[in-house]
A and B are shown apart, each in its own frame.
Chain A
Amino acid sequence: MKKKSLFFVTVILLVSMLVLAACGSSSDDNAAENFPDKPVTLIVPWSAGGGTDTGARLLQPYLEDELGVSVTVVNKTGAGGWIGWNDLANADPDGYTIGLANSPHIITGYINPTLNRDKDLDDFIGLGMHVVDPDTVSIRPDEDRFTNLDELIEYAQNNEVTVTSTGEGTDEHLVILNLNKEMGTNFVPVHFDGAAESRSSVLGGHVDVLVANLGEILSLYHDGDIEVLGVAAQERSSFMEDVPTLAEQGVEVYQESSRGFLAPAGTDPEVVQILEEALEKAINNEEHIEKMTELGFGVRYETGEDYMSILKDDEQVVIDLKELLGWE
């Protein structure tokens, strides 16, 4: 009896392992002229339901229409997105595996020396940019120590001021470091687990300043629950026309988080071109833009090449902040 059930369990374990192993390996060579003739896998390095995932799933049907094959969204989460990006870099460069990247996360992930990543931007090819979400600086409407950006900066030059962030090397953290570097302020980051906790901490008066992506504060802005002092972008956002950029107010800090599509390095240029064209049409589809806008996602298409150079610029920003991040 004992032997029998042990044998049974072992068999079940083995069979399950084999099935799973089989799921992991499926690849065959396809010529570029037939591309694509089987489903394309889109790696999303964050869990289902997050901003990146929602954007991917919104685009999915339009991309399927353009490519003529189905697109499967696979969530590969962990290590601040790098589980997914590592898998993407190691995938067969046949065009059937593409992925979504977030900047600056993908960059800070390999520049942080404690993480010992063996991959960087050179392991990927840009396919096109999808979304740009600039960072914003906001305070509570009832805040009496400072009411505008000038007063905030002046106050922070003489006092420690707490600011929300979502972890070391995130876009929020880079905004804070850049402000301290450019303006000589004493902003102290408080790292929260996500924008939800950041927002409630500022609304409840526990943290002084809210730094968050524009899309994350839209409803608070509409309800007047917060006062947005500035947007860290080159131009004003169409989501909040009345809010000036930081640069307009003499604070030269630019920071946005962007999302775009990558393929592993070594992908056939003809295949890359097919993917690029399909993405361009799908991203610029008006219905898609409309749905994204409703969610507060600012769609901005850029070609694969331009997207890559935007990422290179982002890389430079992080490199310039290495000292302040303690990453040297």
Chain B
Amino acid sequence: MDSSMISMVIEQLLSFQTIIALVIGVVGGIAIGALPGLSTTMAIALLVPITFSMEPVAGLVMLTAIYTSATYGGSIASILLHTPGTPAAAATALDGYQLTLKGKASTAIGVATFSSMVGGFISGIALLFLAPPLAQLSLMFSAPEYLLLAIFGLTIIGSLSSGSMLKGLASGAIGLLIGTIGIDIITGFPRFTFGSMSLESGIALIPALIGLFSLSQVFILIENQVKSGKKVNAKQASGKFFPSKSIIKRITPTVLRSSGLGVIVGIMPGAGGDVGSWVGYNEAKRFSKRKEEFGKGSVEGVAGSESANNAVTGGAIIPMMTLGIPGSSATAVLLGGLMIQGLVPGSELFTTNGHLSYAIIIGFIIANILMGIVGFIGAKYFIKVLDVPQNLIIAIIITICMVGSYAINNSIFDIWVMVFFGIFGYFLRKAGFSTAPIILGMILGPIAERSLGQALVMSQDNFFVYLLSRPISVIFIVLILLTILTPLIMKLIRNRKKEAVS
């Protein structure tokens, strides 16, 4: 980037249209993200035609701002109402909502805002400076790596089941089984569809997620209210939104780690924010000095998933801009927005059209900072949700659940899916099962199964030799073995010590 290009980039960014687009993108994105069922991808898809008539930089800055802000917005409802606004925010609900119950909603929102902002910012920096090498790295991932990534992801279930390991694994297995419903991509055969066309594409993730997390939550709220009249209110949830120095000190390693992981997951075309947030959450727990707090209201847990899912956004844009290969479903739509402006992905984008591309990337970085500012200013209004009388909140959540489940595919069937999973989730939670492993199984099961089928064809009979001949696969295998074996070995050593002492 020479100096003439820098001045052109600044000129592009300081145009009136770009600034307005940036603000609309950030504010609109947060609102869309906070509402379950209004997905990021859908919002971008509906806005792409509008950007035709806009300046290229303004249009694309608006779309990327929506992408990152909606990913952040998903955390707000997740923390305050246990109603994840996006699948990527499901992991945030685990600790975020526990913090709200403890009257620390402002801390949770503050940490989520800070982590999302830093995660998105870091991914933007990666996009600006490291795009070509990271794009090459993304090409090293294929079916075998996705298979192992999915298996690695499933080991997270172990850390999600705070109570009984058996119950956690059972939930995970339910999720995996649900993931087998639908037409198998390798053979084209419909499985467990019972002749229903609606089941052919499988149980849609978002209605199931809304049911398991939000509707079941409504039932639990009603039950608690009936039993004891207990409720959470914002008066308990006072305090500053910007995280205190001690909290920032505590979450910084987590935020940096999750941001890095998020960028890596982001550049993979087969995995997006929903996978990234779980990986970020799990690694936050693994490296935490206060593991026992996880699941009971850990700020590190919130930081771990929120910085990772926002870091996925910049990461997913990298292969889209350099190779024309979108790293997530939202960036697949963004690609259309790019091309309609006559901007063809690839080297030309960074040379001939460099002044536009760099303006878009820097616009994306600014969007992340603006998102943080809007988040901190807005937090005191978001939290007012807790002031709303519980009866009204229940009504609002149910309405949003209904509309959200319908809107995602314009399908009445999905509303029934949501209601079913709501009732199912309620009874599971009453019986001490965690619902998070079900969602994890539903996300990762199909990835694992599909990748296994692909890898078996690609390996042409020598499956294990094939896996071991691939460097990234070997790294994953080592990670998986470490994850599974470390607790066992630790236990063994502890038992030995005990024996020695006695």
Contact = CB atoms under 8 A, between A and B. Distances in A.
Interface of A: 1-2, 5-6, 8-9, 12-13, 16, 20, 24, 47-50, 53-54, 57-58, 60, 74-80, 82-83, 86, 112, 114-116, 160, 162, 167-169, 188-194, 196-197, 199-201, 203-207, 218-220, 222-223, 225, 291, 294-296
Given A58-B49, A79-B198, A200-B138, A222 B348 contact: yes
Given A53-B45, A79-B201, A167 B185 contact: yes
28 contacts: A1-B226, A1-B229, A9-B394, A12-B398, A16-B399, A16-B402, A24-B412, A48-B45, A49-B333, A49-B336, A76-B411, A78-B197, A78-B409, A79-B201, A83-B197, A83-B198, A112-B188, A115-B190, A160-B460, A199-B323, A199-B325, A200-B139, A200-B141, A200-B319, A205-B139, A219-B344, A222-B344, A223-B346
A19 to B, nearest CB: 9
B103 interface: no
B415 interface: yes
B143 A8 contact: no
B457 A162 contact: yes
Q: Which 6 A-B pairs have the closest CB atoms?
A: A168-B188, A49-B333, A49-B45, A48-B45, A204-B139, A206-B142
A13 B189 CA distance: 36
Contact of A220 (B41, B323, B453): B323
Given A5-B222, A5-B226, A197-B270, A203 B342 contact: no
A82 B197 contact: yes
Contacts of B49: 57-58, 60
B475 interface: no
Contacts of A86: 197
B51 to A, nearest CB: 12
Given A8-B391, A219-B346, A296-B339, A200 B323 contact: yes
Nearest to B412: A20
A219 B338 CA distance: 12
Nearest to A217: B324
Contact of B398 (A16, A54, A196, A291): A16
A201 B143 contact: yes
Question: Main secondary structure on chain B at its contact with chain A?
Answer: helix
Contacts of A193: 185, 270, 450
B133 interface: no
A290 B12 CA distance: 25
Interface residues of B, number: 69
B268 to A, nearest CB: 9
Contacts of B493: none
A184 B460 CA distance: 19
B391 A82 contact: no
Interface in B52-66: 52
Contacts of A1: 225-226, 229
B453 A191 contact: yes
Contacts, number: 183
A82 B44 contact: no
Nearest to A163: B457
Interface string B395-422: 1001100110010011110010000000
Given A48-B41, A48-B46, A204-B141, A78 B200 contact: yes
Nearest to B42: A48
B288 interface: no
B340 interface: yes
B44 A5 contact: no
Contacts of B117: none
B195 interface: yes
Contacts of B142: 200-201, 204, 206-207
B168 interface: no
A75 B204 CA distance: 15
B326 interface: yes
Interface in B435-463: 450, 453-454, 457-458, 460
B48 interface: yes
Interface string B20-51: 00000000000000000000011011101100
B269 interface: yes
Nearest to A83: B197
B361 to A, nearest CB: 18
Given A79-B201, A196-B269, A197-B269, A219 B345 contact: yes
Contacts of A206: 142-143, 458
B398 A75 contact: no
A109 to B, nearest CB: 10
